[in-house]
Amino acid sequence: MRMLPPPGGEGWGEGLHIAPIHIIPSPSPQPSPPGRGSQTGHRPLSQKRLLTHCQISYSEPAPAKAGGERCLGSVESPSRLRFNRTQLDMSNTSTQSSPNADPAELAKFSALASQWWDPNGKFRPLHDINPLRLALIDKTSGGLKGKRAIDIGCGGGLVSEGMARMGAHVIGVDMAGKALSVAKLHALESNINVDYREATAEDLAAQMPGQFDVVTCLEMLEHVPDPRSVVAACAALAKPGGWLFFSTISRTPKAYALTVIGAEYVLGLLPKGTHEYAKFLKPSELVGFAEGAGLTLTELKGMDYNPFSHVAKWKSDTTVNYLIVCKKAS
């Protein structure tokens, strides 16, 4: 039996039970823990084989222990693994001596830059959920046409270009230079006007405060050292009365089972090491960051994505992927 990677550390808690997963892959290196996984992978399992080999059940996390340590869940496997919730530093570190970017994360996405616009490649899930997200942004903002929008953590430009196609004047911001090069080339080939900039959200907030009707930050917060600082910068970028959209992954055992074990190591839908469990954010934490930055929460949605039918839809369950909509006071 091959061991799948743990979320790591102590305090991983009670609640998630995963029966042993028997996989017979082509010879390949032993998978590394999330964040340092190799780019070689198992042959993807079909839906039938996945259901045959992997049985996952989920229950509510155990109550907090004395002394403040909180148990989030457990994995039943040959070794018992725990994750220490207190290792997550949620303190406000808005003043930084270096850019709010993780070099390992930038290298990871730069290595995949050429695949951003391949609808059947490693970023297929983003292509599949993009229409759903764009429709929500357009409807909530009262129509994107003619509005100024900024896309923080734009990557290869899927959302930036989508908003531009809907008539918005868009700035796309990212620190991964290779991904930005791909975004610029695709926009040029598609005759779409997007202003792409290699910078952090904090950089742009200092240069262009209060200038945008729409601010998006999608699937980015779980990849930066200080998500609170990014949320505050997004709030600063928005005009009074502006709309802000944040999406990320909740820090729950269920999310770990589906987005890391399932998507990365079993089905191969995402490159190994794409996500680190410790960087996932619970909705209460993200809403707290937004309210602390002076924003008002107007909507909280969960997203359901079926990797076999490639269909995405909104739902009330926010224990895996979710999105919040906020508004800046007029």
**At 127, which CATH number?**
3.40.50.150
Tokens of 70: 């909180």
- Residue 204: per-residue pLDDT: 97
Ramachandran area for residue 38 (φ above 0: left; ψ -120 to 50: alpha; else beta): beta
Any domain includes 81: no
Residue 171 CB burial class (10 angstroms; 0-12, 13-18, ≥19): buried
Any domain includes 40: no
- Residue 57: per-residue pLDDT: 36
Any domain includes 165: yes
- Residue 231: per-residue pLDDT: 98
Any domain includes 288: yes
Any domain includes 97: no
End-to-end CA, the chain: 58
CA angle, residues 48, 52, 57, in degrees to nearest 5: 115
Any domain includes 172: yes
Q: In the predicted model, is pLDDT for residue 84 greater than 90?
A: no
For residue 277, the 8-state DSSP code is G
For the chain, the domain total comes to: 1
Q: How confident is the model at residue 196 (pLDDT cuts 50, 70, 90)?
A: very high
Distance (Å, rounded) from C-alpha 40 to C-alpha 35? 14
Q: Read off the pLDDT of each residue in 33-37 and give the average, rounded to a whole number.
A: 40
Contacts of 248 (CB under 8 A, 6+ apart): 219, 220, 221, 222, 227, 280, 281, 286, 321, 322
- Residue 102: per-residue pLDDT: 65
Dump pLDDT digits (tens) for 36-61.
333 334 344 343 333 333 333 333 44
Task: Quote the percentage of the chain above a pLDDT of 90.
Answer: 55
Tokens of 17: 């039970």
Q: In the predicted model, is pLDDT for residue 103 greater than 60?
A: yes
Q: How confident is the model at residue 190 (pLDDT cuts 50, 70, 90)?
A: very high
Q: Which domain holds residue 135?
A: 105-328
Any domain includes 302: yes
Question: Between 63 and 250, whose confidence is greater?
Answer: 250
Concatenating the DSSP letter of every residue in 88-116 gives S--S-----SS-S--HHHHHHHHHTGGGT
Average pLDDT of the chain to the nearest whole number: 77
Any domain includes 26: no
Instruction: Give the range among 114-128, 160-174, 226-240, 305-319 with minimum mean pLDDT.
Output: 114-128
